[in-house]
Copies of this chain bind each other. A is one copy, B any other.
């Protein structure tokens, strides 16, 4: 299968376009020797809260969820990370241990780079430092923006947001297979599972979407966008 095609040299990695574009061959070789790629199956946990942080984690392929376990066992999903996202947010600079847990919601390939190497490269390679921070800033900014987007809306607007997120930003198609359960959608938008299901049914009855289990197709994009806009 596609995912098993391992990239063995950073130089040939299609994701080099990211913050690593301006690295010299020497620097790339250094990363290459200390990096570690691993395939995680859907549902597999990649890291847990309170684990020591030793690597910079970069999502090559797949989809993962970043979440926190609340005191009452409930999980709260902070964000869904896509390929090319660094996962684990900024904690890598401001914390010694992971603040969030990460689990694959689709088969995913994660590339681990020793954090000391990255820090050292920031120290010695100014251009890389800037490139790197531009990228991770953008990811952190987008997490904050997403949280605000969700929290300033009510149920219908939030569901519309999620549907548009998957269709436009993740799968780039009006038809997609929802990679998370209704319960997880609820954990992502701070709503009860029942209401997530209810609103999806409503949208189906109103012919805004078509649902068959996990398969979702957006039929009336304009109306969905209107629901999102109105909140």
A residues neighboring B (CB under 8 Å): 68, 70-71, 76, 78, 89-95, 99, 119, 122-124, 126-127, 129-130, 133-135, 137-138, 140-141, 143-145, 147-148, 151-152, 190, 229
Contact = CB atoms under 8 A, between A and B. Distances in A.
Given A141-B90, A144-B78, A144-B144, A119 B123 contact: no
A151 B152 contact: no
Centre residue among A123, A137, A152 by max chain B CB count within 10 A: A137
Contact of A91 (B119, B127, B129, B141): B141
Contacts of A151: 147, 151, 190
B137 A130 contact: no
Q: Do most interface residues of chain A lie in helix, strand or loop, or is the interface mixed? A: helix
A154 to B, nearest CB: 10
B133 A93 contact: yes
A38 B138 CA distance: 29
A134 B78 contact: no
A110 to B, nearest CB: 21
Given A94-B134, A133-B133, A144 B148 contact: no
A95 to B, nearest CB: 7
Nearest to A120: B126
A66 to B, nearest CB: 10
B76 A137 contact: no
